[in-house]
Structure 1
Amino acid sequence: MKSTATEALGSIPLLLLKTRSVPNDGYEEHFSLNAGSIRFKSTFVPVLEHKFFVDELKDVQNLLQQKQIGKPAACKYGGMIFTSQRAVEAFARLVEDGKGDAGWPFLGDIPIYTVGPATSRALCAIPQDPSLNIYGAEMGNGEALAHYMLDHYAEWYQDRSIKPPLLFLVGDQRRDVIPKTLMNPALGTDRRIQVDELVVYGTSVMESFEREFTEILRLTGDSVKRWVVVFSPTGSEAMLRSLGILDSETGKVQLGTRSQGSETFIATIGPTTRDYLINTFGYTPDVCAAKPSPRGVEDVIKHFMDKEH
């Protein structure tokens, strides 16, 4: 959904550096309903493209077909972890492919952990009978989820001195905080949880991103203020270059530099992306959402703008 500031009188352009989720996008729905003294007009600017890895997805399919993901002690995995919508999308395809058989009823006997409301909603949308047991959506970040899992998984398998491993479907770009926390050697054998990561998709910057983002910046250039919401470190360099604030020689943003034209502010979805901008480009975003959600983004932006007045 492309839009400019002129399409909504009195609204502030909100440039969301992400692909619009289908069939519904929580950010689009949330900001289309916002009201009050500060109103936003959202525009999606796709940054990433994803490629699913056929061989790795075949491995997951084999685990399902051989009933190696379930509660019985003979199963290889006693639970699963998802921290990205793309991994959920890949898994949903495999679950749907199994509908011709008896389905996957054993998936209803295990805990499935996720972080963030968007990934949780994607899991909930998978038509599975019995429904999936989804936990951790309210944790907010991977570190909090990992500590939650240590207690929750221990209770789920309280009858076993050694907990069954967890299967973690991931992309090629991810943090390792969850596996490190769950497999920390300092934990006792009764607490430690083996995590097997399986990379099921790869991520890269879309070739069209910088061109499209530059064009949208031009279209919103008459706005007094505008916000850019960054959801991932990937594409950050192209974003800063499009804003005209990245020094081509040093690869850094000079202290105090802002883009030309509109007063442009930057919000990040969480601390990982914020720290990447700071450490890699020397650029400190204006705000960082306390929670990776539409409400979290709106709250931190409005709080910032309220302080300006």
Structure 2
Amino acid sequence: MGGPNFPPILLLKTKSSPHDGYDEFFSAQNYIPTFVPVLSHNFHDENLGQIKTLFESGRLNTGPERRYGGLIFTSQRAVEAFADMLAGLDQSLTATASHSLPLYTVGPATARSLTTLRDTHLPHATIHGADTGNGENLATFILDHYNRLFSDPATSISGDEVKSRKPPLLFLVGETRRDIIPRTLMGESMPVSKRIEVDEVVVYETGVVAGFEGEFERILKIHDDTTVVWAVVFSPTGCDAMVRVLRREEDIKRRERGGRKVFVATIGPTTRDHLVKECGFQPDVCAAKPSPEGVGEVIAEFMTSLDGQ
């Protein structure tokens, strides 16, 4: 896939540091990726301070005073906020708390960030769910895995007793998120013994980068002489601004009876559905897996279909 005339690809995200999997993947495929930051993130210091207190008080250690039995992450930003908080703690505290501490995550990119955090601050913790791909699959995985950690086939105990022995999970989130994970884990249709309590704590807040719309339009103008451009969308946030720019592009194209075509790929179904339902905009492709390979695969298939027309 790829070649010297392969179309430009605009990645509507902030480039991750020190390595960005999308930059590495698409550069290796002979694309020239351009990052267009969409989201601004601010850590929620007050809530992170409460989590810091859990470590300092030993409430994440094993034992009768344990407050939480594990943590859930579904975004790299939550991992970054958590890592920033851990950096200010004595490593002996975090190392002790990491014993028998499962960390649940979704998607390979978040798992890579979490692995770096684990290796630095939580050496005894274990990471699970990296291949689940979305929140619904992760919730199903957690129901099986976490319940098995507290099951004892050699004894016969009631559902209420199992529930009392099983500490809740702490879910570190942004202020905008879907509720599929807590709704699934705490569902009323679930047997009492299988339910898993979840406490959500907002550790970062998200907004649209000031000037994103103008910057996106400016970068598109750089490619005025290019027939095809790809834009990859990673989040519902900022979709409205992107669509406004693309609709202006379509108006120009109709007036000029030609011009550049901007194709849109989404990282997954949540962003695709937001574009369709909230923006009235149909993206061209949606990745089956939220990864550089997943995005690259659907773009390659689409381009092959264009070549065959």
| 1:12 aligned onto 2:13 | no
Query: Deviations 1:232-267 (Å, cap 9, x if unpaired)?
Result: 1110111011123599xxxxx9xx9xx973111000
Query: Deviations 1:56-106 (Å, cap 9, x if unpaired)?
Result: 011000011112124324201001000111111111122222236544322
Please list, as runs of the form range in 1=range in 2, the aligned pairs for 1:221-260 lying within 5 A after superposition.
221-245=224-248
| 1:191 aligned onto 2:194 | yes
Query: Given that residues 53 and 201 in structure 1 are in contact (C-alpha distance below 8 angstroms), is that contact kept between their aligned partners in structure 2?
Result: yes
| 1:117 aligned onto 2:112 | no
The residue that corresponds to 2:26 in the other structure is 31
CA distance in 2 between partners of 1:52 and 1:129 (Å): 21
CA distance in 2 between partners of 1:294 and 1:164 (Å): 35
Query: Given that residues 173 and 200 in structure 2 are in contact (C-alpha distance below 8 angstroms), is that contact kept between their aligned partners in structure 1?
Result: yes
Give 1:197 deviation, angstroms. Answer: 0.2
Which has more helix, going by share of residues? 2
Give 1:129 deviation, angstroms. Answer: 5.0
The residue that corresponds to 2:264 in the other structure is 266
The 10-residue stretch of structure 1 (42-51 or 86-95) with the greater mean CA deviation from structure 2 = 86-95
Please list, as runs of the form range in 1=range in 2, the aligned pairs for 1:77-92 lying within 5 A after superposition.
77-92=68-83
The TM-score normalised by the length of structure 2 is 0.89
Query: Given that residues 70 and 79 in structure 1 are in contact (C-alpha distance below 8 angstroms), is that contact kept between their aligned partners in structure 2?
Result: no
Change (3 A) 1:245 1:260: farther
The TM-score normalised by the length of structure 1 is 0.89
| Corresponding residue SS for 2:259 | coil
% same residue? 48
Q: CA RMSD in A?
A: 2.1
CA distance in 2 between partners of 1:188 and 1:49 (Å): 41
Specify which of 166, 177, 180 is matched with residue 174 of structure 1.
177
The residue that corresponds to 1:95 in the other structure is 86
The residue that corresponds to 2:135 in the other structure is 142
Query: Deviations 1:23-51 (Å, cap 9, x if unpaired)?
Result: 000000111111xxxx4211000000011
Q: Which amino acid aligns with 1:161?
A: V
Please, which runs of 5 or more residues in structure 1 have no aligned partner?
A: 1-7, 248-252
Please, which runs of 5 or more residues in structure 2 have no aligned partner?
A: 153-160
Query: Deviations 1:118-172 (Å, cap 9, x if unpaired)?
Result: 1111111110352431100100000000001000001112247112100001000
Q: Which amino acid aligns with 2:77?
A: R
Q: Which amino acid aligns with 1:266?
A: V
CA distance in 1 between partners of 2:64 and 2:294 (Å): 41
Aligned residues: 289
CA distance in 2 between partners of 1:271 and 1:227 (Å): 18
Change (3 A) 1:40 1:246: closer
Query: Deviations 1:154-209 (Å, cap 9, x if unpaired)?
Result: 11122471121000010001110000000001111110000000011110001121
Query: Given that residues 48 and 203 in structure 2 are in contact (C-alpha distance below 8 angstroms), is that contact kept between their aligned partners in structure 1?
Result: yes
The residue that corresponds to 1:155 in the other structure is 148
The residue that corresponds to 1:105 in the other structure is 96
Give 1:220 deviation, angstroms. Answer: 1.4
Change (3 A) 1:284 1:264: same
Q: Which runs of 4+ in 1 moved over 6 A?
A: none
Change (3 A) 1:67 1:102: closer
